[in-house]
Structure 1
Amino acid sequence: MNLFEFIVQDWRVNRGNTKGRLLLLLFRTANFCSTRRAYYYLGFPYLLFYRVLVEWFFSVEIPWNVKIGKNLSLFHAQALVMAADVVIGENCTLRQSTTIGNKQLRNGLVSSSPVIGNHVDIGSNVCIIGSITVGDYVNIGCGTVVVRNVSAHSTVTGYAGTERKSTTNS
């Protein structure tokens, strides 16, 4: 995949969503620079620009080294927070006020961050924290707090990921 294809890989799924397109264009450019040694030093001024513009002005914290698969769809992209070691699969949807990251453990250490599968639809005001895995084709309802693994083809709502098997396969 060349630079242009890499940067615009989310363009189609965010049709009509100018803010989502802009944020993902900025993220993909920063991700390209930060994950390729040859571009890191040349792109360092851009990485600083990205951090200031996206975090301070758009109030979105998507670290430039997060691993996100193609076709990420952002609805109302504001108040999104991710830890740097989050992994998100392909064809996922994120909505506003979502936090995906690590948590502090009882022993004072910090856990690793979630790994989210493909075709996961995440509602608004969702908190997914800890060293957990969210399977493929999962729907996470608005306001859900997910702190344990979620199996594929599930719908999750409420606190701690109360799980219910979906009746239809997506």
Structure 2
Amino acid sequence: MTPLSIFQDWKRNSIKGRIVLTMFRIAHIATLHPLLLVIMVPYLIIYRVCIEWVLGIEIPYKLTIGKGLALHHGQSLVINDNTVIGENCRIRHNTTIGNKQNKDGTYSGCPVLGNNVDVGANVCIIGEITIGDNVKIGAGTVVVKDIPANSIAVGNPARFFPASPPIEINHLIITAA
């Protein structure tokens, strides 16, 4: 990871998203080496206070996030630290991504989101599930089962449909989703 990689999300975000994700990337780098982690404890405390308490965004610094994440609005965002988020994903406000409590009191694993996943507002993605690459999840959707790649998911509980392939008309590419 290079020092410039902390800015890898800038092109896809507003100023708020840039601040949140730059602070996340710095905090995440601190977890990669035990000595660096000890040195960075004051920063990690500042990160947690600023991002979680002030902005209301729970993105734990241990979380695995691919490059190019876009946060739209970023309010009331909760992501479990064992979740994996692929590259070039979009996540909107009031979204929860994490594990669930099983009937026996144990907790499930966390979701794995593929690359280019677009998550709408007010979405819940819970449980040990996999969201494939190039998936769009509509606003208000509750996802508790795997969603295959190249799909659109909507509803509570989520139903998924294959995404329509782009149509080319007179050299213009038109997409349905």
TM-score (norm 1): 0.95
Partner Cα distance (1:164, 1:107) in 2: 33
Identity %: 46
Partner Cα distance (2:6, 2:60) in 1: 16
Structure 2 stretches lacking a partner, 5+ long:
167-174
Q: Amino acid of the residue matched to residue 5 of structure 2?
A: F
Partner Cα distance (2:104, 2:159) in 1: 26
Partner Cα distance (2:110, 2:65) in 1: 13
Structure in which a larger fraction of residues adopt strand: 2
**Cα pair 1:59 1:80 within 8 Å, conserved:** yes
**Cα pair 1:35 1:65 within 8 Å, conserved:** no
TM-score (norm 2): 0.92
Q: Count how many residue pairs are aligned between Structure 1 and Structure 2.
A: 167
* CA RMSD across the alignment: 1.1
Match of 1:24 in 2: 21
Q: Amino acid of the residue matched to residue 72 of structure 1?
A: L
Instruction: Give the match's secondary structure for 2:160.
Output: strand
2:78 aligned with 1:81, yes or no?
Answer: yes
Match of 2:125 in 1: 128
Structure 1 stretches lacking a partner, 5+ long:
none
Partner Cα distance (1:78, 1:29) in 2: 21
Match of 1:40 in 2: 37
Partner Cα distance (2:92, 2:11) in 1: 17
Segments of 4+ moved more than 3 angstroms: none
Instruction: Give the match's secondary structure for 2:152.
Output: strand
Residue 13 of structure 1 deviates from its aligned partner by 1.6
